[in-house]
Chains A and B, each alone.
Chain A
Amino acid sequence: MTPDAGFSETPLPPTSPTILHVEGLCKSFGGRTIIKDVSFNIQEGEFVAVLGPSGAGKTTLFRCMASLIAPSQGRVVVFDTCPRDIKTRKRRQIAVVFQQFNLIGRRSALGNVLAGRLGYVPAWRGLTGHFSRDDRLWALQCLDRVGLLAHSERRADTLSGGQQQRVAIARAIAQRPAIVLADEPVASLDPQTGRSVLDLLRGICENERVAVVCSLHQVHLARAYADRVIGLANGNVVTDVRVAAFDKTSFNRIYGDASGGDLGSVDFAE
């Protein structure tokens, strides 16, 4: 697949339903404000890249969106409910992919993908690890989707980094989410493996119309995979544009005029 082909020129119709709504989000730790009044909407089937230098607050923003931490002010709304106010079960609508994969090392790849079903099955199945035949078949299909069917019985901690991240994506798919939040999913991987992981995320975005919000370090990857770019600097949203409109000005807003390191590989169309 050539990710550049076509889609970047065809913005989604504005009528697509909003999946995730971030409103006036602030987060501070011990007096230090990390996120300052961040607001945006994520539409169904949209691939949004979040760019920003280290320390811009990307991870804090993701942890708030995933309701792993509570915002200091403002709120995150998924469909019409605030995940922190609703029962844990509803969290299955938001799948999370982590930079460090966060797999259960001593469980098999299949066992890790089945974790994606924990929000659906009755508690006793999760406690005993006894999943239905349908769930196991679905989990295997998810593993097949990421190309790891042959490794389903391997212990997760014996897999390579790229394989582990693909298992994590299979776990996210198994969850049948409305949105996938991926915090620096390729930062711990080599460039080629990173691209295969982004191909998978782009694939679920296009085929299942799942919204994907993905923070990245590399501008060229954002331009290649995303429909839209949100730029974060010092805890503020400094740019929020369709990828076709992402230009040098947007870049400078995020990284400052002085930075040039990554710019070399970015070819801006004027």
Chain B
Amino acid sequence: MTFRRSVTESLVPIEARQPSRIWRRIRVSTITLLIATFYIASWQLAQVDLRRLVSGLPRLAYWLSKAWPPELDDLRLIMQRMAETISMAALGTTLASILAIPTAIMASRNITPAPSLYRPVRLFLSILRGIDSFVFALLFVAAVGLGPFAGVLGVGLHTWGSAAKLMADQIETLPLAPLEAAETTGAGRTTAIVYALLPEIGPIVLSVSLFWWEFNVRASTVLGVVGAGGIGQELKNSMDLLDFRRLFTIIAIIVIVVSIVDQLSGWLRARLS
């Protein structure tokens, strides 16, 4: 095929900008080397030892054989602990959502009433998000004592940061044209934001809160391990006593309840959109 001179000449500067072949090879091998080093180091640090896995697996199988039939004597207590876990997640998430609404608005670049606070609020939220519910629960058990209340506070603080960030990220994608239109009617800034954007923000808040409630039911099943109440406490007791039949019951109940909550929350969120 032949091309017009002006066409072939246009390609010259484009080709000139591309790195040379040798340079490209150096780059590819450096990247490969870096990735390989990262995985080798991780393997060492995580103390991966396949021999221990091989010797440990039969032990797991033996426990599993001992776990049948599940023990149902303590079913009432276990259900009560599961209910504690769900309440802990629900209260913690509700507390977090209430705190998240104003902070999410402050952390949304497009509608924040105080642009100077945008960065500090975002930083505050990322600190909350960086500390897991588990770690917060550990601190609150020391501060307010054993029991699910410490769990509520732990879940609440971590979820506040996480939910507010998710909400803010979604609010930042909202079209602002309706807000502009509301402002031209002579409404004050706050009134215009509430009237024009609340119908859009409402479903975002509900959907994010449901997601985090579902997530927190799962996350709170282990909070009992650090003494913050709920099903995790029974989980730890049974494990300590190597009572595998009871352990089996507990894990089965967690799986059932978590799947029901997943389905329910998924169905509700689908109905919102």
Q: Once the chains bind, are B178 and A105 in contact (CB under 8 Å)?
A: yes
A116: which B residues are within 8 A, CB to CB?
185
Q: Across the two chains, which residue of chain B brings its CB closest to A107?
A: B199
Q: Report the Cα distance A216→B1, complex, angstroms.
A: 48
A to B CB contacts below 8 Å, 16 in the list:
A88-B189, A89-B186, A91-B185, A95-B185, A96-B184, A105-B178, A115-B182, A115-B187, A116-B185, A123-B191, A126-B188, A127-B190, A127-B194, A127-B195, A175-B185, A175-B186
Residues of B within 8 A of A88 (CB): 183, 186-189
Asked if A98 CB lies within 8 Å of chain B CBs, one says: yes
**CB distance A127 to B191 under 8 Å?**
yes
In Å, the complex CA distance between A180 and B7 comes to 52
Residues of chain B in range 154-207 having any CB-CB distance to chain A below 8 Å: 177-178, 180-192, 194-196, 199-200, 203
Query: A88 CA to B187 CA in the complex, in Å?
Result: 7
Docked-complex contact A104 and B196, CB < 8 angstroms: yes
Q: Which of B177, B180, B184, B195 is A126 in contact with, Cβ under 8 Å?
A: B195
Q: How far is A168 from B184 in the complex, measured between Cα atoms in Å?
A: 12
Interface set, chain A 118-162, CB cutoff 8 A to B: 118-120, 123, 126-127, 129
Shortest distance in angstroms between B198's beta carbon and chain A's nearest beta carbon? 8
What residue in chain A is nearest B195 (Cβ atoms)?
A126
B232: min CB distance to chain A, Å: 40
When C-beta atoms are compared, the residue in chain A nearest to B196 turns out to be: A104
**0/1 interface trace, chain A 90-103, chain B, CB 8 Å (1 if under):** 11111110101011
A56 at the interface (CB under 8 A from B): no
**A106, closest chain B residue (CB):** B199
- What count of chain A residues pass the 8 Å CB interface test? 32
Contact residues of A with B, CB < 8 Å?
66, 68, 88-96, 98, 100, 102-107, 115-120, 123, 126-127, 129, 168, 171, 175
Q: A118 contacts B191, CB within 8 Å?
A: yes
Evaluate whether A98 and B177 lie within 8 angstroms (CB atoms) in the complex, with A89-B186, A119-B186 already known. Answer: yes
Given A118-B192, A118-B195: A126 and B187 interface contact (C-beta under 8 Å): yes
Q: Which residues of A are found within 8 Å of B181, using beta-carbon distances?
A: 96, 98, 102-103, 115, 168, 171
Bound: A120/B186 CA distance, A: 8
Candidates B178, B187, B203; contact of A104 at CB < 8 Å: B178
Q: With contacts A118-B182, A118-B185 known, is A129 near B195, CB below 8 A?
A: yes
Greatest chain A CB density within 10 A among B177, B188, B191, B203 is at B191
A95–B186 alpha-carbon span in the complex (Å): 9
Set B180, B184, B188, B191: member contacting A95, Cβ < 8 A: B184
Residues of A within 8 A of B185 (CB): 91-92, 95, 115-119, 171, 175
**Could you say which residues of chain B place their CB within 8 Å of the CB of A119?**
185-187
Determine how close the nearest CB of chain A comes to the CB of B190; give it in whole angstroms: 7
Neighbouring B residues of A123 by C-beta, 8 Å: 188, 190-191
Min C-beta distance of A23 to chain B, whole Å = 21
Alpha-carbon separation in the docked complex, A96 to B188 (Å):
16
